[in-house]
Amino acid sequence: SLNGVKNDIDDLSASGGTNYANALNEAIARFVIDSNNSNLNGYINRSYFISDGEPTPGNEGDTTAWQAALSLY
């Protein structure tokens, strides 16, 4: 439910670093898997990237790959 999602977001806490690369790679993988699932035809797959700050140095991710994936899905 929407309230459940809001509560989950409210319960987030910042700690340590943010590994953007892993998050973006997982999102791309989910989009690929979902795009091949006929049960999801007609649905819009959306992803929201929520972070507590700057990426941990060295874990920024490949913005070129992410932009290419966005244009496909």
Q: Give the closest residue to 48 by CA, choosing from 15, 9, 16.
A: 9
As to burial, measured by CB atoms within 10 angstroms (0-12 exposed, 13-18 middle, 19+ buried), residue 60 is middle
Residue 19 CA neighbour count, 13 Å, CB half: 5
What is the chain's pLDDT, residue by residue, as a tens digit (73 residues)? 889 989 998 898 877 777 777 888 888 888 888 888 888 888 887 888 777 777 777 766 667 776 777 777 6
pTM, full prediction: 0.54
Judged by phi (left if over 0) then psi (alpha if -120 to 50, else beta), residue 68 lies in alpha
